[in-house]
Amino acid sequence: MTESAAPPNVVCLATYFKGGDFIRECKSHGCHVVLVTKEKMLQEDWPRDALDDVIALPNDAETDLFIHLAAHLARDRQIDHVVALEEFDVVNAALIREHLSLPGMNSAVARRFRDKLQMAEVARREGVCVPEFVPLINRSQVQSFMETVPPPWVIKPRSDVSAIGLRKVQDASEVWRVIDELDARERLRERSPHYLLCRFVGGEVFHVDSLVNNSRILFSGANQYGRPPMQVAHQGGAYVSTTIPRNSDDEKNLLAANRKLIKALGLEKGATHAEFIKSEVDSQFYFLEIAARVGGAYIAEVLEAASGINLWREWAKIELSTNKLQKLRPLRKDYAGIILSLARQEYPDTSQYTDVEIVYRVKKRHHAGLIVSSPQMERVQELMNQYASRFAEDFIAVVPPLERAE
């Protein structure tokens, strides 16, 4: 951390409830920490003992209001760091940095991590396999794509997260119907030019989560989803993610592709969450998307259970440090897994799950979740399989998939 008379002033943006450990770590270093969130998130369990101020903007607040607020805060206390703890705040944080002339990711880099068209083009140039794609902008290009790339295809928003807004389509007439439907929406940014049409690749989905400093990866962890997130979102069921076999070919290939992407996208420091799918046809890994944030759905807790590395706390240290850290050495090389589902009960009771490998219980309204850890990969997989059956009986609720972020 840079030595100065006054403690560093950190402004955290979080449209959704994320990053409590990041905030606590900043406070432990003597920082003055301000959280900027939305009104709908004001009642969440933020670590208020580690926050010097909490400011809630209207739920429909646009970028100009974020910039104006930051400039207002800077009148009385110089801002040293602006950090986006959530996907939807990455570009706003970059624009604030530019407005206040602060160091950190600029808006051009931020947009590469938010726009699936830009990141796919970068990945393709770097030789990373990417499913064929075309933006829904030029109609002749869309028509040519459908004539040369066999269906099924996926229509997906260029800037949303997870499986929000994804649609699997089977023929050209369906694509044109969806385009007409999108173009009838009131908000311009929800219309078809903000979507991609991509070749659908069936297979197993993986994610790689990393910490970066001085453009070097300090730590990466590779996990596999039990079922593709798109499938869980559209068909219901439990979300599962587990550590993949260490030193396996899959791990080596994923980490190599992840390194290429992060370097090409130009990230200097921060956290990333990248997703890949291993084709059931040719066994190749295809890049899906990458974000400049810690992965959601308790991924940070899973990685900590396997390695001892807390992504949020280490990211905070990176943000505050001027040192050229070279590597983070995991405390452990165990295996971990999470099972998580929507629950019928408002506060589901998991006390009947008593295995000694359980290291974390999710405490969230209408959610049931457990994280387990073991030196043996087989034990983690055995527990995940058992819990998947039990969760179906005990907890699982199904709701329609989101068309847009709420």
Top-tier CATH class for 9-104: alpha beta
Look at strands 239-243 and 53-57 and give their pairing.
unpaired
**Residues 114-152: tens digit of each pLDDT:** 999 999 999 999 999 999 999 999 999 999 999 999 999
Taking 70 as the pLDDT cut, the residues of the chain under it are 1-5, 161-163, 228-236, 323-326, 399-406
Q: What is the pLDDT of residue 329?
A: 82
Q: What is the pLDDT of residue 228?
A: 66
**Residues 76-86: tens digit of each pLDDT:** 999 999 999 99
Q: What is the pLDDT of residue 328?
A: 83
C-alpha distances (whole Å) from 262 to each of 273, 290, 292 are: 10, 9, 10
In angstroms, rounded to a whole number, what is the distance separating the alpha carbons of residues 339 and 239? Answer: 6
Measured in whole angstroms, the distance separating CA 351 from the mean position of its chain's CA atoms is: 29
Q: Can you give the pTM of this predicted structure?
A: 0.93
Its CATH architecture, for the domain 132-199, is: 2-Layer Sandwich (3.30)
In angstroms, rounded to a whole number, what is the distance separating the alpha carbons of residues 116 and 381? Answer: 32
In angstroms, rounded to a whole number, what is the distance separating the alpha carbons of residues 316 and 263? Answer: 21
Token pair in block for residue 19: 């990053």
- CA torsion 152-154-155-158 (nearest 10°) is -150
Superfamily of chain region 203-394: ATP-grasp fold, B domain (3.30.470.20)
Q: What is the pLDDT of residue 171?
A: 97
Q: 171 Cβ partners below 8 Å, 6+ apart?
A: 151
Q: What is the pLDDT of residue 162?
A: 54
Domain limits of the chain?
A: 9-104, 132-199, 203-394
Q: What is the pLDDT of residue 2?
A: 46
Q: What is the pLDDT of residue 3?
A: 47
